[in-house]
Amino acid sequence: ISLARAEEDYNASDCRFINIKKGQLIYVYSKLMNEKDSGEFWAASIRVYGEQYEDHVGTVCYFSSSLVSE
């Protein structure tokens, strides 16, 4: 759907969510709105550069839309 850049670091609370670091590029695949207006969560895959992050490329998980700019 879109491409976003992380504006801050985020450590996932469990395996459904994705750890992100400020500056990472994130490929957004879907956008989900919570019924109780507690924010949007997006499904995404992180595109990161550097060997230390290779295991995260292609992983699809969720994160809060407030952490990124499109």
Q: How many domains does the chain divide into? A: 1
Percentage of residues of the chain with pLDDT beyond 90: 7
Average pLDDT over residues 55-69: 75
CATH number at residue 60: 2.30.30.40
Domain that holds residue 24: 2-69
Query: What are the pLDDT digits (tens) for 11-44?
Result: 988 888 888 889 888 888 888 766 665 567 777 7
pTM greater than the 0.85 cutoff: no
| Cβ atoms 19, 56 nearer than 8 A | yes
Contacts of 12 (CB under 8 A, 6+ apart): 18, 19, 61, 63
Determine what percent of the chain is predicted with pLDDT higher than 70: 70
pLDDT beyond 70 at 56: no
